[in-house]
A and B are shown apart, each in its own frame.
Chain A
Amino acid sequence: GNSVTQMEGPVTLSEEAFLTINCTYTATGYPSLFWYVQYPGEGLQLLLKATKADDKGSNKGFEATYRKETTSFHLEKGSVQVSDSAVYFCALRDTGFQKLVFGTGTRLLVSP
Chain B
Amino acid sequence: DTAVSQTPKYLVTQMGNDKSIKCEQNLGHDTMYWYKQDSKKFLKIMFSYNNKELIINETVPNRFSPKSPDKAHLNLHINSLELGDSAVYFCASSRGETGSDTQYFGPGTRLTVL
A residues engaging B (CB < 8 A)? 29-32, 34, 36, 38, 42-46, 49, 51, 87, 89, 93-100, 102, 104-105, 107
Contacts and interface: CB of A to CB of B under 8 A. Distances in A.
A43 B107 contact: yes
B29 to A, nearest CB: 12
Contacts of B97: 98
Contacts of A94: 99
Which applies to chain B's interface (DSSP): helix, strand, loop or mixed? strand
A102 B45 CA distance: 9
Given A43-B108, A87-B41, A105-B42, A100 B103 contact: yes
Given A43-B107, A44-B90, A98 B55 contact: yes
A93 B105 contact: no
Contacts of B105: 36, 43-45
A51 to B, nearest CB: 4
